[in-house]
Amino acid sequence: MAELIENILPIDVANAALNALRPDGNEIEYGQYYGFKEGGKVVVPLPRLMAFQASIDAAGDSPWYRCKLALVPQNKINYMPWTPTIEKIKDAVEQRTGETWNLAHIIYYRDGDDSMGMHSDSMLDLMPDSRIAVVSFGCTRQMELMKKSRSTEDGPRKMKFDLMHNSVFLLDQKTNTHYLHGITKQAENRTEDRISIVFRYVSTFMTDHGLFYGHELPFVSKQDIVQHESRRTMYHYIFSVLVTSFILFVFTAFIPNWIKLFVGIILCYLVIQFSRQIERVIDKYRTRNANEQLRKVCHMKNIEVWNQRDMRDFLK
């Protein structure tokens, strides 16, 4: 079940972290992000500011979390390396809980008008059985959990947790399967802000070229992507040589060899470019189809009692 742990850091460290992570602390560069409304036809500003950090490897690849936020064209999500305060918090909470995380969404609630709608998290990219951590600094806000209407799991219909300053809320995947959660608007203390750091341990990674690899994906490792790209390049050259040879054999029987060579080089280049263009069109179609399926997953996960396997099977 979900768990709330108080006083995760010494109070002076927690207070310093709150000041450092505020916008005027100059450690985090928050941005305005957007969400879909009215069935995905309208894009609206989300009532909160956000930033993103993760464990970036030497090649520049970062963990990636597939969610509806990443599907909005206006959102340019870029995971930055850990900043000192976030890394210090991550290390302390990992030591306290025994969990490991490699990605964080940092959320700044400016006042009581900022909120987070009821939803259940995507589990497509989470390491199996890992827990999601919500670390809170600043004004106390209430996390409400509401059982999905289709859930037959034993347990209360509603749960409420006060996420106070210097606490961590741990959400396990079973609870996320059966419950929606969110931060509702708060009338009192409207001028007080809150910072929430949502840590996740994901098994999906994205290269600097936008390709994904990881657990149960078509590419399990980055080496698989390298081999795939090498094979595609080889197929382009083989195809171009075959097409060029056929054209020269059929249409240039009485042309001098030096002209054949010149024409062959040009034809080979044009065929390669044409085949690559066709491939780009196919890749674009596949990406659009995958994004549409992901959009459906992000909608259905808030209705259906889906675990990680259900989400991954639907996306396939």
pLDDT band with cut points at 50, 70 and 90 for residue 126: very high
- Reduced to 3 states (helix: H, G, I; strand: E, B; else coil), residue 173 is helix
Whether 235 shows a pLDDT value over 70: the answer reads: yes
What is the percent of the chain with per-residue pLDDT over 90, rounded to a whole number? 58
- Reduced to 3 states (helix: H, G, I; strand: E, B; else coil), residue 130 is coil
Judge whether 165 and 155 are in contact, CB under 8 Å: no
Judge whether 37 and 45 are in contact, CB under 8 Å: no
Q: Rg for the chain (alpha carbons), in Å?
A: 25
Which span out of 187-191, 201-205, 259-263 was modeled with the highest average pLDDT? 201-205
Nearest to 119, CA basis, from 132, 130, 102, 129: 132
Judge whether 180 and 145 are in contact, CB under 8 Å: yes
Domains and CATH numbers, the chain: 3-206 (2.60.120.590), 221-315 (no CATH)
Average pLDDT (158-172) is: 96
Whether 191 shows a pLDDT value over 70: the answer reads: no
pLDDT in the model for residue 151 = 92
Which span out of 61-75, 96-110, 268-282 was modeled with the highest average pLDDT? 96-110
Judge whether 35 and 46 are in contact, CB under 8 Å: yes
pLDDT band with cut points at 50, 70 and 90 for residue 3: very high
DSSP category for residue 60: S
> Residues with Cβ < 8 Å from 187, sequence gap 6 or more?
112
What's the CA gap between 236 and 199, in Å, rounded?
42
Whether 204 shows a pLDDT value over 90: the answer reads: yes
Minimum mean pLDDT range among 46-50, 153-157, 202-206, 268-272: 268-272
- Reduced to 3 states (helix: H, G, I; strand: E, B; else coil), residue 306 is coil
pLDDT in the model for residue 38 = 63
> What sign has the CA pseudo-torsion 52, 58, 64, 69?
positive
